[in-house]
């Protein structure tokens, strides 16, 4: 039978891991290996994906992937961790300390003044960024969602000049499965840090040590930081640090990054091993007695064979040998083996597969987990189920329950949007708007009184203050939305939303994780685009960024309200709701289109860990809000300021650079006049409408204000109902505002940002034309 066929609560032993390539390797790296015990916890409300526990942690898998994993059902016997037999306490091996590993002052130190660079490596959600912040005193955002760090971050250790720690994205193995793994692996291999700080979640030690084993093979001075030790001891567990240090051959330091305990000792050890170039004492982690020693002989044989190639390529031999056995194409390429050597390697591996009874990848993963099992048996007394986990299970009964998950999700999101856009954010926005208006009017009066030059006066009031002020007024909404989203993220709920929504989103080529940015898009596209950083694959990320602008943002609401009031006062609600639905339908259509063309392929497999629910830290949330506010303000006073001045200039001067009284003679009018014929088929050929739409590129709200000024409040006399309908559809779908485009440029680069602008303008034009033609056909003109 396969894993997919198991019922909720059933236990089984994995007998076979099917699939191929990187995905299969990823399964193996996550501990889904033959012999491992699994228990099915639940299925998502839509029946897919499933949640299971393996090696003591929660993993989610899609049913299609679970179908590739063969299992044999076993009795559901919860194994109680028993007290280990008393044994003689091992002396502290003293690794990473002067005086024991080498006499004080001796060793092989780096030349004085060499900068000690460290890579901070660990599994996702193991507390790397918390530790990074502790080490460096910086304030990087920490989330309770796997994959918060999507790129590397650097900083010197506080109080230790001439050091540099790089926080790398969380990874499960050194296989290049995701872009984060590539970033982390390349960093360790190519930038050759002087030391590695490997952070290990002590509550999930078996799975975390898998990465440790691969890091040990790299032969770089290393320290293992056993994080969350406070949780282990609080729940009745313990770890024999001395024994573990002895078995791993590297210093092991128990810490609690959240409580800042053990961090100083960690720094001392890390500095010591890096300065004295103390490499791991053990890199040969395969046991010659393990299952007849087939894997051991295979690895050693290949290590000898490729030794010269690995040295030439600058790769650690042991690491290269394991990767060659696993068939890692990147390492194979770097080694430049000749045909004879490749053939010899293949023969050795085939022989190993025959003797071991497992394929190459599974055999290597099994060898690693066998070592980890030995280490854990000797050193770890597992904690009982933590109170955090018990609490999470209880909360999950409602938030991911079959009948309660979707209603809970809808209620929570409705509450977030209502509070953001209806109560707190909107209220604060109103206050800020009043404040800005008062300031502008004060400045306006002061300039009038002092007889400031009219051009400068107009530039400041109509250009700078109007432009920057209108954008600034959105600060409260953005900060409030981020406040709620950070609460959702830090609590661990967002991982559940992805779990619940995965099946629905997969139909349009995305994975469950894309739901979050899309939801934020209803508020504002800028934070939505930024939120895509948590997506694991570049394809999903780009596709999600391209879809978020179709989620009608709040800045478009004034446009809808303005035209509905002017042209369709009796059908206000159905038209506005219809526009929102049209946006969603267009996104679905666009997703299908992109799935078959630009972004071919399937969404990344949904292999994700569900973290325990945690109470968000006030400091962390406040720091995030401050960062977002600062970022937004910096943008308002750089990009938006310049753009506002440029637009004002184009609106106020003619082609001879003379100030115009009538904006019809301005450069903007001339340019809009050229573009006007393009809009004629939509019934929007008036240059003033074109100008309003162009100004909407700066901020959507300015479409309304521009129309008001140019039409002097008589817009209903200058447009038909049909052209108003076309304009509404065009406004819904055309290019997002400059702030959103800047965010896209920031995330994906200029080429993609330009592509988005062009693509949405074309789509909006076609949709608006369709509306007009359909309207004319049914006699709406």
Partner 1 sequence: MNTVDIILVLLIAAAVVFALRSCKRHKHSCGCCTGDCSQCAAKFKE
By CB under 8 A, name the binding residues for partner 1: 140-141, 150-155, 167, 450-453, 456, 459-460, 464, 533, 627, 630-631, 634-635, 637-639, 641-642, 645, 742, 745-750
Least distance (Å) between residue 152 CB and partner 1: 7
In the chain, what is the straight-line distance between the N-terminal and C-terminal CA atoms, in Å? Answer: 64
DSSP string, 97-158: STTTSS-TT-S-PPPTT--EEEEEEE-TTSSHHHHHHHHH-------SSTT---S-EEEPPT
Between 413 and 459, CB nearer to partner 1: 459
Find out whether the peptide bond into 634 is cis, omega within 30 degrees of 0: no
CA 482 to chain CA mean position, Å: 15
Between 106 and 638, CB nearer to partner 1: 638
CA distances from 161 to 110, 113, 142, 191, 368 (A): 16, 10, 25, 20, 37
Least distance (Å) between residue 632 CB and partner 1: 9
- Cβ neighbours of residue 551 under 8 Å, at least 6 residues apart? 518, 519, 521, 522, 525, 528, 583, 584, 587
Between 642 and 781, CB nearer to partner 1: 642
Least distance (Å) between residue 561 CB and partner 1: 31
CA distances from 705 to 670, 768, 780 (A): 20, 22, 27
Between 460 and 726, CB nearer to partner 1: 460
Q: What is the dihedral of CA 674, 680, 686, 690, to 10 degrees?
A: -60
Least distance (Å) between residue 638 CB and partner 1: 4
CA angle 553, 698, 594 (to 5 degrees): 55
CA angle 193, 198, 199 (to 5 degrees): 140
Least distance (Å) between residue 188 CB and partner 1: 18
Between 186 and 261, CB nearer to partner 1: 186
Inter-residue long-range contacts of 395-399, CB under 8 Å, 24+ positions, other chains counted:
395/613, 396/42, 396/496, 396/610, 399/493, 399/496
**What CA–CA distance (Å, rounded) separates 335 from 678?**
58
Contact 96, 118 (CB under 8 A): no
The two three-digit tokens of residue 498, written as one number: 């992805």
Per DSSP, the three-state class of 199 is strand
Least distance (Å) between residue 182 CB and partner 1: 15
Least distance (Å) between residue 490 CB and partner 1: 15
**What CA–CA distance (Å, rounded) separates 169 from 25?**
19
Between 153 and 323, CB nearer to partner 1: 153
Between 135 and 244, CB nearer to partner 1: 135
Q: Look at residues 692, 647, 685, 690 and name the one whose alpha carbon lies nearest to residue 672.
A: 690
Least distance (Å) between residue 411 CB and partner 1: 30
Between 330 and 633, CB nearer to partner 1: 633
Between 649 and 759, CB nearer to partner 1: 649
Sort 374 into a burial class: Cβ within 10 Å, 0-12 / 13-18 / 19+.
middle
Least distance (Å) between residue 13 CB and partner 1: 43
Contact 67, 3 (CB under 8 A): yes
**What CA–CA distance (Å, rounded) separates 612 from 388?**
6
Least distance (Å) between residue 756 CB and partner 1: 14
Cα dihedral sign, 62-64-68-73: positive
Between 141 and 282, CB nearer to partner 1: 141
Between 627 and 664, CB nearer to partner 1: 627
Least distance (Å) between residue 441 CB and partner 1: 17
**What CA–CA distance (Å, rounded) separates 369 from 377?**
12
Least distance (Å) between residue 553 CB and partner 1: 20
Between 141 and 297, CB nearer to partner 1: 141
């Amino acid at each position: 039978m396969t894993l997919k066929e198991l019922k909720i609560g059933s236990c089984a032993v994995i007998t076979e891991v099917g699939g191929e390539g990187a995905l299969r390797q990823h399964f193996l790296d996550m501990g889904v290996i033959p012999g491992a015990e699994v228990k099915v916890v639940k299925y998502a409300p839509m029946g897919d994906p499933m949640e299971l526990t393996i090696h003591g942690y929660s993993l989610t898998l899609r049913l299609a992937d679970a179908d590739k994993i063969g299992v044999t059902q076993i009795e559901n016997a919860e194994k109680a961790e028993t007290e280990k037999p008393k044994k003689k306490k091992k002396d502290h091996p003293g690794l990473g300390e002067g005086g024991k590993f080498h006499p004080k002052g001796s060793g092989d130190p780096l030349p004085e003044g060499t900068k000690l660079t460290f890579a901070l490596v660990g599994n996702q959600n193991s507390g790397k960024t918390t530790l990074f912040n502790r080490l460096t005193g910086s304030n990087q955002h920490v989330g309770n969602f796997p994959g918060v760090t999507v790129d590397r971050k650097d900083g010197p250790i506080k109080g230790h000049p001439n050091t540099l720690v790089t926080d790398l994205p969380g990874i499960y193995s050194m296989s290049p499965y995701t872009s984060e793994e590539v970033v982390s692996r390349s960093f360790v291999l190519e930038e050759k840090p002087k030391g590695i700080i490997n952070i290990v979640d002590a509550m999930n030690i078996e799975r975390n040590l898998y990465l440790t084993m691969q890091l040990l093979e790299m032969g770089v001075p290393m320290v293992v930081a056993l994080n969350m030790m406070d949780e282990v001891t609080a729940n009745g567990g313990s770890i024999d640090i001395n024994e573990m240090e002895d078995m791993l051959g590297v210093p092991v330091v128990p810490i609690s990054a959240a409580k800042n305990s053990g961090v100083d000792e960690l720094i001392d050890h890390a500095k010591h091993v890096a300065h004295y170039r103390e490499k791991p004492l053990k890199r040969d982690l395969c046991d010659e007695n393990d299952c007849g020693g087939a894997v051991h002989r295979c690895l050693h044989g290949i290590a000898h064979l490729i030794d010269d190639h690995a040295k030439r390529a600058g790769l650690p031999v042991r690491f290269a040998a394991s990767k060659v056995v696993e068939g890692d194409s990147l390492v194979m390429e770097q080694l430049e083996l000749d045909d004879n050597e490749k053939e010899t390697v293949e023969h050795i591996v085939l022989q190993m597969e025959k003797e071991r009874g497992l394929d190459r990848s599974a055999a290597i993963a099994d060898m690693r987990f066998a070592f980890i099992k030995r280490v854990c048996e000797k050193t770890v007394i597992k904690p009982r189920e933590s109170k955090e986990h018990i609490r999470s299970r209880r909360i999950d009964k409602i938030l991911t329950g079959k009948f309660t998950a979707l209603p809970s999700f809808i209620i929570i999101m409705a509450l977030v949007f209502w509070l953001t856009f209806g109560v707190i954010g909107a209220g604060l926005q109103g206050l800020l708007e009043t404040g800005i208006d008062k300031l502008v009017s004060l400045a306006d009066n002061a300039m009038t009184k002092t007889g400031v030059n009219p051009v400068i006066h107009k530039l400041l009031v109509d250009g700078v203050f109007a432009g920057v002020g209108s954008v600034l007024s959105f600060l409260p909404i953005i900060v409030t939305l981020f406040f709620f989203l950070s609460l959702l993220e830090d609590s661990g709920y967002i991982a559940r939303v992805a779990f619940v929504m995965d099946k629905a989103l997969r139909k349009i080529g995305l994975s469950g994780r894309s739901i979050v940015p899309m939801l934020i898009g209803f508020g504002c596209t800028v934070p939505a685009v930024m939120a895509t950083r948590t997506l694991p694959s570049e394809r999903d990320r780009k596709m999600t960024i391209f879809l978020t602008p179709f989620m009608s943002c709040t800045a478009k609401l004034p446009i809808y309200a303005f035209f509905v009031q002017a042209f369709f006062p009796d059908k206000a609600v159905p038209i506005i709701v219809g526009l929102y639905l049209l946006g969603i339908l267009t996104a679905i259509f666009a997703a299908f289109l992109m799935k078959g063309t630009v972004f071919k392929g399937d969404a990344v497999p949904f292999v994700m860990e569900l973290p325990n629910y945690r109470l968000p830290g006030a400091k962390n949330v406040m720091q995030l809000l401050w960062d977002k506010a600062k970022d937004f303000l910096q943008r308002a006073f750089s990009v938006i300021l310049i753009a506002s001045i440029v637009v004002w200039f184009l609106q106020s001067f003619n082609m001879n650079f003379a100030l115009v009284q009538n904006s019809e003679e301005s450069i903007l009018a001339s340019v809009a006049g050229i573009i006007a014929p393009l809009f004629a088929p939509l019934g929007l050929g008036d240059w003033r409408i074109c100008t309003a739409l162009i100004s909407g590129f700066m901020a959507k709200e300015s479409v309304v204000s521009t129309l008001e000024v140019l039409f002097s409040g008589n817009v209903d006399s200058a447009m038909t109902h049909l052209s108003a309908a076309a304009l509404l559809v065009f406004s819904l779908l055309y290019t997002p505002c400059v702030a959103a485009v800047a965010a896209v440029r920031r995330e994906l680069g200029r080429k993609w940002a330009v592509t988005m602008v062009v693509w949405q303008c074309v789509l909006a034009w076609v949709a608006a034309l369709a509306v007009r033609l359909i309207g004319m056909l049914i006699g709406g003109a």
